[in-house]
Structure 1
């Protein structure tokens, strides 16, 4: 009798299946037992590649960040590079919203996340920003991008028009849901433009 075919288990395959699970069902759906079932293996075999579930989640988060385009740093002026990076960063997070809470905690020891932090911080320092200011700008950019990806402002209002009878300035709030993509995108663009315009003005004044 032929032996059962063994599943070829690699770190890449584990991360691929774990990422798909998180994307489809959220962070709570990811467990070693569930992941092993999806992969068709026994749970302990996963520990040959990842010591803990947290390590798997870290790898999933880092695989997301690896898709952020950093090519503008070093090839474009600092302000244009920030703008292009922010758009790519937000686009990637919008494709994987369930992992954003993990990414919002910071880069930790994740290689792709640290490489992104290095690219942003390095570009700002090379442009003449002080170490402290470059840190502030990097943090501020992350707040904007991750914050705009954690949830929809427009979808935070109820669609019941009767609810807003006591709030006359919010009488159009029930219509926000049908326009939520435009509202959220517009808010992000406005915030990014104001942020970079303000930074540019301070930079030109020598406040770095």
Structure 2
């Protein structure tokens, strides 16, 4: 019996799983994502995914975080006045949500422990504190803006919310 050699480059990576899952969510919605379907898209067996993620929900959280990572934060570092920076950030955030509307219901649950989402919140908070806002108000401003942008996206993509709810 001949043993198959292990490939030099792994067939799976966390990034590859997330990219494939994001493409599937973008094309067909949240309901289309299952570990079985994702494994088939990746050309691997289902249990292979569990070396990278424990559950389908973890995969969807990683997809949501990858969308948060697309939000431009440079406006908080290039010297723009805080009002302009906050506006430009909101536009970038809304653009990321528009480009990936099917993941909006997952993102709407809040940043949780998603690294990119937490980095995004920290960038807004830091910019507000640097602009002279007290810490508590900086937190409120960041949350308010996030709710405003997310609510706008949820309102714009009402069919997505309906589809996700079942």
TM-score by length of 1: 0.69
Q: Which residue of the partner structure matches residue 109 of structure 2?
A: 105
**Structure 1 alignment gaps of length 5 or more:** 156-208
C-alpha distance after superposition, 1:107-141 (max 9, x if no partner): 11111111100000111112111122112111111
Q: Look up the SS of the partner of 2:102 in the other structure.
A: helix
CA distance, structure 2, for counterparts of residue 43 and residue 143 of structure 1: 36
Contact 2:101 2:157 in 1 (8 A): no
The answer on 1:10 being equivalent to 2:13 is yes
1:118 to 119, 122, 130: 122
C-alpha distance after superposition, 1:72-119 (max 9, x if no partner): 103211111101101111011000001111111111111111110000
Give the greater-gyration-radius structure (CA): 1
C-alpha distance after superposition, 1:139-170 (max 9, x if no partner): 11111111111133999xxxxxxxxxxxxxxx
* RMSD over aligned Cα atoms: 2.2
**How far did residue 5 of structure 1 move?**
9.0
Following TM superposition, the consecutive aligned residue runs of length 4 or more in structure 1 with deviations greater than 4 angstroms are 1-7
Q: Look up the SS of the partner of 2:53 in the other structure.
A: coil
The answer on 1:49 being equivalent to 2:49 is no
Q: Look up the SS of the partner of 1:151 in the other structure.
A: helix
C-alpha distance after superposition, 1:14-55 (max 9, x if no partner): 001100111111111111111111111111110001111111
Pairs within 5 Å for 1:48-67: 48-67=51-70
2:74 to 71, 75, 90: 71
CA distance, structure 1, for counterparts of residue 11 and residue 40 of structure 2: 14
Contact 2:64 2:107 in 1 (8 A): yes
CA distance, structure 2, for counterparts of residue 154 and residue 20 of structure 1: 20
2:31 to 28, 31, 34: 28
Bigger relative contact order (CA 8 A; separation at least 6): 2
Cα distance change, pair 69–48 in 1 and its aligned pair in 2 (3 A): same
CA distance, structure 1, for counterparts of residue 30 and residue 21 of structure 2: 10
Question: May I ask how many residue pairs the two structures share in their alignment?
Answer: 155
**Structure 2 alignment gaps of length 5 or more:** 160-166
Q: Which residue of the partner structure matches residue 38 of structure 1?
A: 41
